[in-house]
Structure 1
Amino acid sequence: MTMTVDSLRGRHALVTGGGRGIGAAIARRLLAEGASVTLVGRDVQVLERAAGELRPLLTDGAVLTAVPADISDADSVAAAFATAEAKAGPVGVLVNNAGQAYSAPFGKTSLALWQRMLDVNLTGTFLCTQAALPAMMAAGWGRIVNVASTAGLVGYGYVSAYCAAKHGVIGLTRALALETARSGITVNAVCPGYTETDIVRDAVANIVDKTGRSEAEARAELASRNPQRRLVQPDEVADAVAWLCRPSASAVTGQAIAVAGGEVMTG
């Protein structure tokens, strides 16, 4: 199939955590680029609802699939990829978006919380990448985009486990980018700041519960960390991901791009 320079038509993109928030926005954007998309997540109802909303965006020949899976479990990941590939062909674009964030002072961070943050945010990225990479290597083309966080670039208090996991994602991104640099595969990360998602809504609720501040005050506190004094929108993150997935972005690999209104500057 002939493709235009910046089209993903004929490509199969798998998006973890694709049922809501940033993941759903990314899926919508990749569908607009002409890709077939598989949504992966733990909640079947959330996935099916998202698929129903996205299905009208399908272009000719594209396929939209929803596959439930626990990305922290190797067998579940293998089964999900087998199902996705049977319905839409080999995965050529992998977006590791699924993640969780929980806060606790370091002294009260239990081993279970520590392990949970590593399992979902880092091990899940590792497992899905290992599942997708062989087909990409065989095709001589692939795009892996890891949705990390500004917490993968700097430190934040009271989320040490989450920060450690997201720093690990950045390290994995850079190491794998070097290993695949001559294979036609790029590996990058996008690092959103505080974004209008369930994670931020949970953070706002936590601030309200612990400090007695109003919801508006809590939201303003989070937004104040962004020099633009606002929360990032999921579509803004999705646009950055879509750019990295395009064929014309082949020279961009090993990067961790902050989508955070200037909160973090790297170079």
Structure 2
Amino acid sequence: MTGAGRGIGAAVARRIAAAGHAVALSARTEAELASVAGTVPGEPLVLPADVTDPGAADALCSAVERAWGPVEVLVLAAGAGVASPLADTSDADWQRMLELNLTAPFRLLRRAVPAMVDAGWGRIVAIASVAARRGEPLVAAYSASKHGLLGLVRSAAAELAGTGVTVNAVCPGYVDTPMTDATVAAIAARTGRTPQQARAALERRQPIGRLITADEVADAVLLCVGSAAITGQGIEVDGGAVQA
């Protein structure tokens, strides 16, 4: 799985491993991966990589195949966000969001699918966002990339229906992770609020009145892995913010 160095990815890795799957952990920072690996049951593979590298998908899948055989469960959790007014969003920011949040998952999905189809079984789960389900101000590049990711999931699920391979997205709201910490800091810097006030504002965006936990997102991922009847879905884990 990608994005396994912290936050949602690390939580999902632990839950997938606890459910009995051998887990390959990938992220850019080897030290973070080593720390997570120490909390994961079994003997995970640690595979540092920048998933935006065009060769990363083949390198990661090939490493898993050499160790264990074809990838059976692919969790696409690597991602990042950027916030700025539309008119101030640079080409570089736009391209970075598309490369990390959409193109990298596409390459990994494309590489893993043939072996899953041959085996007659596979599970693919992408971590999207509520920003894949509705427009939000100041995050045009991020929202576009996540809308695209949900479209990729739906198209792949429709194409693979009947093969034994399911493809789903989990769409969290604001999760208590380092990524949200960065969002809080950006809001505080932009608005003059204290970090505590900025965090409280994000909590109020969700009807349950708090941030989502990474483990709650992992619950939805495990549901997708366990079910053959759930495919083509964008599952909200957002405290009721988007009623889909």
For Structure 1 versus Structure 2, the TM-score category normalised by the shorter chain is over 0.9
Aligned residue in 1 for 2:99: 119
Match of 2:14 among 22, 28, 38: 28
Match of 2:135 among 155, 173, 179: 155
- Structure 1 counterpart of 2:235, one-letter code: I
Once the two structures are overlaid, the 10-residue window that deviates more, 83-92 or 145-154, is 83-92
Query: How far apart, CA to CA, are the structure 1 residues paired with 2:95 and 2:12?
Result: 27
The offset of 1:76, in angstroms, is 2.0
Residues 203-223 of structure 1 show CA distances to partners (whole Å, capped at 9, x for unaligned) of 111111122211111100011
Q: After TM superposition, list the pairs within 5 Å mapping 1:37-186 onto structure 2.
A: 37-54=23-40, 57-58=41-42, 63-186=43-166
Query: How far apart, CA to CA, are the structure 1 residues paired with 2:128 and 2:47?
Result: 22
The offset of 1:165, in angstroms, is 0.3
The offset of 1:135, in angstroms, is 1.1
Identity value in percent: 48
Query: How far apart, CA to CA, are the structure 2 residues paired with 1:185 and 1:53?
Result: 29
Q: Secondary structure at the match of 1:94?
A: strand
Contact map agreement 1:17 1:97 (CA 8 A) in 2: yes
Query: How far apart, CA to CA, are the structure 1 residues paired with 2:67 and 2:6?
Result: 22
**Aligned residues, how many?**
244
Q: Secondary structure at the match of 1:229?
A: coil
Instruction: Indicate the RMSD between aligned Cα atoms, in angstroms.
Output: 0.9
Query: How far apart, CA to CA, are the structure 2 residues paired with 1:122 and 1:174?
Result: 13
Contact map agreement 1:30 1:37 (CA 8 A) in 2: yes
Aligned residue in 2 for 1:12: none
Contact map agreement 1:92 1:143 (CA 8 A) in 2: yes
Contact map agreement 2:127 2:170 (CA 8 A) in 1: yes
Contact map agreement 1:18 1:47 (CA 8 A) in 2: yes
Stretches of structure 1 that go unaligned for 5 or more consecutive residues are 1-14
What TM-score results when the alignment is normalised by the length of structure 2? 0.98
- Structure 1 counterpart of 2:138, one-letter code: Y
Matched, 1:261 2:230: no
Residues 121-166 of structure 1 show CA distances to partners (whole Å, capped at 9, x for unaligned) of 0001101101111110110100000100000000110000000000
Stretches of structure 2 that go unaligned for 5 or more consecutive residues are none
Query: How far apart, CA to CA, are the structure 2 residues paired with 1:175 and 1:16?
Result: 21
Query: How far apart, CA to CA, are the structure 1 residues paired with 2:18 and 2:64?
Result: 19
The offset of 1:100, in angstroms, is 0.6
Aligned residue in 2 for 1:7: none
Residues 142-193 of structure 1 show CA distances to partners (whole Å, capped at 9, x for unaligned) of 0000100000000110000000000001101110001000100000110000
